[in-house]
Structure 1
């Protein structure tokens, strides 16, 4: 796709904590709350990358670079490699070259819209670092989660409120899955798109990715490459024997010494002590590796002195498992706890870019990295955006709303709007204040005469306040009925922009916005999503 265009859009920025869609943990992290300081290395400010570069350079084995470049060269065989991507692969042999990484599942046709936002944030971060530190070279990387086995999370995408789904009984690592049967999905997708000229590009993209490649890994590499090759995006598949070999010394510590289990458990305890409101995203297991082979990806557990592969009849003694690790490193697949370590072991990486849920589990891992003497990367929240069409923007204006109002819970938004447009005052706050003043006098009177009456006075105050609340609600309900057309229009608009009462980026597929914006879509994101501007971005086309 052509990404060199300049696109004119209106931009509005809303602090993440004001959207109501981000956890306290992430909002505190963005505020650099002191309680979280022990759980990350350096906060992602442009000037902080200088020390991160020095630390990673001193702590990244030179020998890993050659293994990495050889593996990438092999992975790209048979794919069209852009000049900028090839330049990035070649540059990785140089000790002054570093990566910034995002990772994502192999969602069908990219899945939700934020797939694009993750990669755009990563590309733009590499560009800004290049400008700030011209002596170094920075490579944006997309790490494909090819070994994941949660097929039900990736086998669909949403278009026009409908689920386009790949029905398949799948097992094992999703990257190994054959693309057979995706021609039926293509037919459903094509029918939904219709025959407008702009839809032909999407059909062609789906066809070339999924009907001309034999497995999901290759299909996803083709698709991401087609969307971002011009930007030099490097696509890494960790399901690779040579790369896994570099991980195996760490895998042995995990499997035989349970290092991450003990260390991460202590970090989780520290996080929960820092705030009861912090949600723990993942819990470590005693062994954080799966056994991966022939459509199988099952956990390894220690059982009766043997190492057992769950849901199979496979058992290994310690000696047998060590031999298997040495001879077949590709058969050992890290789980969500061990995969971040794998990434940092094989890449000269400075920063991981992820969503709120991802950063939440990365914040559990720093002590684990330190124990294994692997540099912990900086953690950056990816950009988030709400894309509004011209037609939707006109509706917002016509309803005399501000875009930030649309982030409110629907019932609160409706109540606010009814209060704003009603020709009677439905806010009983003054009456409640007056009531409180009257009861204050009664409290004083009770204290001077008989303190045993204080409870009765309090009960009466509560009762009368509840009565006012009930009257306010009844009046509001009556006004909603009277102003029903306003409520319907408002609800429809919010449901368009926040499908399923969720962020647009978590629901819509990029194809839906491509039908609106065409070739402007990715250039607009590259132009307006700035990694160091920590706000939620609203873009009106």
Structure 2
């Protein structure tokens, strides 16, 4: 599989915030502990080993064994669950929402990044064991973000009543989604495999969490992936002390707000702003914020209200009813997992970078933050067309109007660049200024006005010539436009819009092994791939 790598900044699809992090700009060093270099993992290992209790390992292992009780999984995944009981075993974690049929392609890239990081670490530190973990965001309540996926430019959507944590949503209505999906993907071995995956996941499991676990397990269990649903009473018992401090001290707000302010002062966009209390309360069909009101605690938009003693008793007896929000979920993860590194997208890492002071305040090691692999996959046909059009991978990332203008200028038999004429004009006006300086100011102003007018005139002529050449080379422009739109749907990164099923239809069972072979999570660059059709 031919590959090409491009710096993230040069793609123009990633924020200055994340690019500065990847380039280890001094402005951001105070907001993380260790940068994701292979040699930095040793100290991270030591810190986590020293701080992570064996009792937490026992609870984690027991919960996972129960969650996997009725799942047909690989021997490697079962071995990894067993290894988590050992103090020399650590996790590499990525998390994602329960998007319908995985949602965009980057669901695959996140998990592959975690699995490949584990392989790299095992080679470097053979006396330790490492386990790739997919954290299912079962407590998330943003159903509209996950209830669809894109297929061939169409939106395949699941319509149902909304409300509460999505993990416990029943799968009613997904039979209709399956019918639409099935009719769209056509015939053939790969299409049949996709139909079976969808049917087994969503039509034979009772809720969205179980369906997503089945699907992720089918795709990745052979690589030892461990999938965790942290919406669990026994796991949340481990987190009770931190939730108590949140309620009584507003500790995350006290430490994240100043960090967010410092990032803002440095010119970075703050991804998430903390609330005074960063916990939700879960009840049937509802996940609502806990707020402090008149020396009491209440659940927003409900009649539920507690005194301080009552809410602490509720937390002690029913920790499963309390749910961390985006600010506290990272801490929850690091409390219940022997984790070294979190792998996420740019938006995720941006809010993690607000949390270091909070972690230090509660004395939990801050994990290494690693940007997941990002990929564009070109088909053989697309690669051949690009070659004929003489478009490089870097040019492909230009905005469409820039790409077209750039290519038209290159292939035109007319030089569509009036820089030489501009230089000549400016030189002519220099002599006019020398003359004007011997007269009065009004004449100097007249010369300036005339220079501006004539330079603008050259700009207009250049644009008109470019436009004329675009018309003349209309077929070439059309081919460029169609090709870029195929590779960058809606002028967005393929990985953010396209569902994996489109790639699976073309590459079948080769897709994930080829990605696994070519994605290096520590590379720190954007990857362009061309799978070879064999």
TM-score for both structures, normalised by structure 2 = 0.97
The corresponding residue for 1:403 is 393
For 2:269 and 2:214, the matched residues in 1 are separated by 36
- The offset of 1:386, in angstroms, is 0.6
The corresponding residue for 1:416 is 406
The corresponding residue for 2:155 is 163
- The offset of 1:31, in angstroms, is 0.6
- The offset of 1:486, in angstroms, is 1.1
For 1:354 and 1:445, the matched residues in 2 are separated by 64
The corresponding residue for 1:187 is 179
Distance verdict in 2 for CA 1:447–1:360, change over 3 Å: farther
Please point out which of 86, 99, 102 is paired with 2:94.
Answer: 102
The answer to which of 85-94 and 302-311 deviates more is 302-311
Please point out which of 420, 437, 443 is paired with 1:430.
Answer: 420
- The offset of 1:75, in angstroms, is 1.2
SS in 2 for 1:78: coil
Count how many residue pairs are aligned between Structure 1 and Structure 2: 531
Is 1:490–2:480 an aligned residue pair?
A: yes
The corresponding residue for 2:346 is 356
Would you say the 8 A contact 1:176–1:295 is kept in 2? no
Distance verdict in 2 for CA 1:365–1:458, change over 3 Å: farther
- The offset of 1:483, in angstroms, is 1.4
The corresponding residue for 2:356 is 366
The corresponding residue for 2:370 is 380
RMSD: 1.3
For 1:307 and 1:455, the matched residues in 2 are separated by 70
The corresponding residue for 1:172 is 164
For 1:141 and 1:454, the matched residues in 2 are separated by 71
Would you say the 8 A contact 1:264–1:368 is kept in 2? yes
The answer to which of 62-71 and 104-113 deviates more is 62-71
The corresponding residue for 1:282 is 272
For 2:373 and 2:433, the matched residues in 1 are separated by 53
SS in 2 for 1:195: coil
For 2:190 and 2:61, the matched residues in 1 are separated by 38
For 1:455 and 1:185, the matched residues in 2 are separated by 70
Is 1:122–2:122 an aligned residue pair?
A: no
The answer to which of 41-50 and 255-264 deviates more is 255-264
The answer to which of 77-86 and 174-183 deviates more is 77-86
- The offset of 1:90, in angstroms, is 0.7
- The offset of 1:76, in angstroms, is 1.1
Distance verdict in 2 for CA 1:73–1:448, change over 3 Å: farther
The corresponding residue for 1:5 is none
For 1:453 and 1:519, the matched residues in 2 are separated by 76
- The offset of 1:438, in angstroms, is 3.0
Please point out which of 104, 118, 134 is paired with 1:112.
Answer: 104
For 2:448 and 2:340, the matched residues in 1 are separated by 59
- The offset of 1:444, in angstroms, is 4.8
String of CA shifts for 1:396-434, please: whole Å, max 9, x gaps: 111111122111000001111111121111111222222
- The offset of 1:435, in angstroms, is 2.5
The corresponding residue for 1:347 is 337
The corresponding residue for 2:519 is 529
The corresponding residue for 1:18 is 10
Is 1:238–2:234 an aligned residue pair?
A: no
Please point out which of 284, 306, 320 is paired with 1:294.
Answer: 284
For 2:303 and 2:445, the matched residues in 1 are separated by 69
String of CA shifts for 1:278-301, please: whole Å, max 9, x gaps: 221111000111101111101111
Is 1:31–2:23 an aligned residue pair?
A: yes
The corresponding residue for 1:3 is none
SS in 2 for 1:300: strand
SS in 1 for 2:451: helix
- The offset of 1:445, in angstroms, is 4.7
For 2:442 and 2:527, the matched residues in 1 are separated by 57
String of CA shifts for 1:148-186, please: whole Å, max 9, x gaps: 000000001111111111011211000010001111100
For 1:153 and 1:290, the matched residues in 2 are separated by 19
For 2:240 and 2:181, the matched residues in 1 are separated by 42
SS in 2 for 1:286: coil
Distance verdict in 2 for CA 1:48–1:443, change over 3 Å: farther
SS in 2 for 1:285: coil
- The offset of 1:449, in angstroms, is 4.9
The corresponding residue for 2:310 is 320
String of CA shifts for 1:171-216, please: whole Å, max 9, x gaps: 1000010001111100000000112222000000001000110000
Distance verdict in 2 for CA 1:224–1:436, change over 3 Å: same
For 1:453 and 1:247, the matched residues in 2 are separated by 78
The answer to which of 116-125 and 193-202 deviates more is 193-202
- The offset of 1:81, in angstroms, is 2.6
1:245-284 equivalences under 5 Å are: 245-274=237-266, 276=267, 278-284=268-274
For 1:397 and 1:209, the matched residues in 2 are separated by 40
For 1:449 and 1:367, the matched residues in 2 are separated by 66
For 1:145 and 1:398, the matched residues in 2 are separated by 44
For 1:97 and 1:495, the matched residues in 2 are separated by 45
The corresponding residue for 1:70 is 62
1:498-517 equivalences under 5 Å are: 498-517=488-507
The corresponding residue for 1:461 is 451
Distance verdict in 2 for CA 1:466–1:236, change over 3 Å: same
SS in 2 for 1:353: strand
- The offset of 1:381, in angstroms, is 0.5
SS in 1 for 2:127: coil
Please point out which of 30, 39, 42 is paired with 2:34.
Answer: 42
- The offset of 1:464, in angstroms, is 2.4
For 2:491 and 2:394, the matched residues in 1 are separated by 15
For 2:232 and 2:302, the matched residues in 1 are separated by 24
Task: Could you tell me which runs of 5 or more consecutive residues in structure 2 were left unpaired when the two chains were aligned.
Answer: none
For 1:425 and 1:514, the matched residues in 2 are separated by 44
For 1:471 and 1:150, the matched residues in 2 are separated by 51
String of CA shifts for 1:231-268, please: whole Å, max 9, x gaps: 00010111000111111111121222111112111111
For 2:103 and 2:222, the matched residues in 1 are separated by 21
String of CA shifts for 1:49-74, please: whole Å, max 9, x gaps: 01111111111122111111111111
